[in-house]
Homo-oligomer: A and B are copies of this chain.
Amino acid sequence: MRVTIKDIAKKAGVSIATVSYIINNTKPVTPETRDKVLQAIKELNYRPNYSARGLANYRTNLIGVLIPYWDEDTKQGVMFDNPFYSELVRGVEVVTSKHHYHILLMGISDRPQAVTNLVQQRDLDGLIVVGAYQELVASLTKIEIPVVLVDTYAEHSRFYTVQIDDEYGGYLATQYLLTMGHEKIGLLTGELFPQGVAVRRFQGYKKALAERGLEVNHKYVYETKISTQGGYEGIDHLLQQAPDLTALFSMADIMTIGILKRLREAKLKVPDHLSIVSFDGVLYPEFLNPALTTIDQDIFEKGRIAATLLIKLIFGEKITEPHVVLPVTLAARESVKELK
A interface residues, Cβ below 8 angstroms from B = 2, 47-52, 54-55, 60, 62, 75, 78-81, 83, 85-87, 89-90, 93-94, 97, 102-107, 117-118, 120-123, 257, 260-261, 283-284, 286-291
Q: A97 is contacted by which of B52, B55, B102, B107 (Cβ under 8 Å)?
A: B107
Tell me the complex Cα distance, A49–B51, Å: 10
Most chain B beta-carbon neighbours within 10 Å: one of A51, A105, A289: A51
Tell me the complex Cα distance, A85–B93, Å: 14
Q: Assess the A81–B89 pair: CB atoms within 8 A.
A: no
Closest 5 CB pairs of A and B: A86-B86, A289-B289, A51-B54, A80-B90, A51-B51
| Shortest Cβ distance from residue A16 to the other chain B in the assembled complex, whole angstroms | 15
Tell me the complex Cα distance, A286–B75, Å: 25
What is the predominant secondary structure among interface residues of chain A facing chain B? helix
Q: Assess the B283–A260 pair: CB atoms within 8 A.
A: no
Q: Assess the A87–B80 pair: CB atoms within 8 A.
A: yes
Most chain B beta-carbon neighbours within 10 Å: one of A81, A83, A117: A83
Collect the chain B residues with CB atoms within 8 Å of residue A106's CB. Answer: 97, 102-103
Q: Assess the B94–A75 pair: CB atoms within 8 A.
A: yes
Collect the chain B residues with CB atoms within 8 Å of residue A80's CB. Answer: 86-87, 89-90, 93
- Are A260 and B289 also in contact (CB < 8 A) when A105-B103, A123-B51 are? no
Tell me the complex Cα distance, A47–B26, Å: 29
Q: Assess the B122–A50 pair: CB atoms within 8 A.
A: yes
Tell me the complex Cα distance, A79–B303, Å: 14
Collect the chain B residues with CB atoms within 8 Å of residue A291's CB. Answer: 289
Q: Assess the B257–A48 pair: CB atoms within 8 A.
A: no
Q: Given A81-B90, A85-B86, 7 more contacts at CB 8 Å? A: A47-B117, A48-B121, A97-B107, A102-B106, A103-B104, A287-B289, A288-B288
* CB closest residue in chain B, given A103: B105
| Shortest Cβ distance from residue A98 to the other chain B in the assembled complex, whole angstroms | 8
Tell me the complex Cα distance, A110–B105, Å: 23
Collect the chain B residues with CB atoms within 8 Å of residue A102's CB. Answer: 104-106, 118, 122
For this complex, 24 residue pairs linking A to B, each with C-beta atoms less than 8 Å apart, are A2-B120, A47-B117, A49-B120, A49-B121, A51-B54, A51-B55, A51-B60, A51-B123, A75-B94, A78-B93, A79-B93, A80-B86, A80-B89, A80-B90, A83-B83, A83-B86, A93-B107, A105-B105, A260-B287, A261-B286, A283-B283, A287-B288, A288-B288, A289-B290
Q: Assess the A123–B89 pair: CB atoms within 8 A.
A: no
| Shortest Cβ distance from residue A1 to the other chain B in the assembled complex, whole angstroms | 9
Collect the chain B residues with CB atoms within 8 Å of residue A52's CB. Answer: 51, 55
Tell me the complex Cα distance, A291–B260, Å: 13
| Shortest Cβ distance from residue A107 to the other chain B in the assembled complex, whole angstroms | 6
Tell me the complex Cα distance, A97–B79, Å: 12
- Are A121 and B47 also in contact (CB < 8 A) when A105-B103, A284-B257, A289-B289 are? yes
